[in-house]
């Protein structure tokens, strides 16, 4: 059993002008595909073959597994939490959890700060903790909160890719503009579904 590139539920141009079609296509078919190819190579013939991507992340110590297992998990989540026609604000139980966190505006401010201040390449996350509370953190490279020693824990229910490959064609060095536009294309119904899992 090897991993395959998941299909997107929308067209490459569907998120324009927030995320342009060329960025989406390269990101999906080149970057994500490369993580999958390298992950399949890294697990071939090992006891990780046949494990879920979550199990692989939870046990990932070696760089090849962190970079490529993380690369596959993180991008698979990222495509799902984007949509051209989502609610502009959280819904349901995740809405309540964000209210308990301090409200939607505080969430946006803290999430943006985590994404802006991630030095170099990485991700910012909204995670659900075991007690149902949400927390915000960021990880370098393709690390994610499922991994040991990620400096971040909980189950990711929303994430933003702040690698330059995610925004450079449209935003160049203006990472803060990409981050503030990102809130326009969040699939809050999907975030709610992930929160309720």
Shortest approach of Mn ion to residue 158 CB, angstroms? 15
φ, ψ (nearest 5 deg) of residue 33: -60, -40
Exactly one of 3, 12, 125, 163 binds Mn ion (CB under 5 A); that residue is 163
* Closest residue to Mn ion: CB criterion: 161
Pick the piece of the chain touching Mn ion (CB under 5 A) from 18-26, 36-44, 48-56, 157-165.
157-165
Shortest approach of Mn ion to residue 165 CB, angstroms? 5
Q: Is the peptide bond preceding residue 17 cis, with omega within 30 degrees of 0?
A: yes
Residues 6+ apart with CB under 8 A from 53: 3, 69, 72, 73, 76
Please work out, in degrees rounded to the nearest 5, the angle formed at the alpha carbon of residue 156 by the alpha carbons of 35 and 120. 55
Exactly one of 12, 79, 81, 161 binds Mn ion (CB under 5 A); that residue is 161
Are 179 and 109 in contact by the 8 Å Cβ rule? The answer is: no
C-beta closer to Mn ion: residue 106 or 165: 165
Shortest approach of Mn ion to residue 27 CB, angstroms? 6
Pick the piece of the chain touching Mn ion (CB under 5 A) from 40-48, 141-149, 160-168, 185-193.
160-168
- Give the residues across from 139 on adjacent strands: 123
Residues 6+ apart with CB under 8 A from 37: none
**Residue closest to 160 by CA, chosen among 177, 173, 169:** 177
Window 22-61: contact mask with Mn ion (x via CB under 5 A): ----------------------------------------
**CB half-sphere exposure, 192, CA atoms < 13 A:** 12
Pick the piece of the chain touching Mn ion (CB under 5 A) from 59-67, 139-147, 151-159, 165-173.
165-173
Shortest approach of Mn ion to residue 181 CB, angstroms? 16
C-beta closer to Mn ion: residue 97 or 162: 162
Question: Which residues in this chain contact Mn ion in the complex, by CB under 5 A?
Answer: 161, 163, 166
């Amino acid at each position: 059993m090897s991993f395959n590139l998941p299909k997107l539920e929308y067209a490459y141009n569907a998120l324009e002008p927030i995320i342009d079609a060329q960025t989406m296509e390269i990101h999906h078919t080149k970057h994500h595909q490369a993580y999958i190819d390298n992950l399949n190579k890294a697990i071939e013939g090992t006891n990780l073959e046949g494990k879920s991507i979550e199990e692989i992340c939870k046990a990932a110590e070696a760089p090849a597994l962190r970079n490529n297992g993380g690369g596959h998990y993180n991008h698979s989540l990222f495509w799902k939490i984007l949509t051209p026609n989502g609610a502009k604000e959280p819904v349901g139980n995740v809405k309540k959890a964000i209210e308990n966190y301090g409200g939607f505006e505080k969430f946006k401010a803290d999430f943006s700060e985590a994404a802006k201040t991630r030095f170099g390449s990485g991700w910012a996350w909204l995670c659900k903790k075991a007690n149902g509370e949400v927390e915000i953190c960021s990880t370098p490279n393709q690390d994610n909160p499922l991994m040991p020693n990620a400096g971040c824990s909980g189950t990711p229910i929303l994430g933003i890719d702040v690698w330059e490959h995610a925004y450079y064609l449209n935003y160049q060095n203006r990472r803060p503009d990409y981050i503030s536009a990102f809130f326009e294309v969040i699939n809050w119904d999907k975030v709610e579904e992930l929160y309720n899992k």
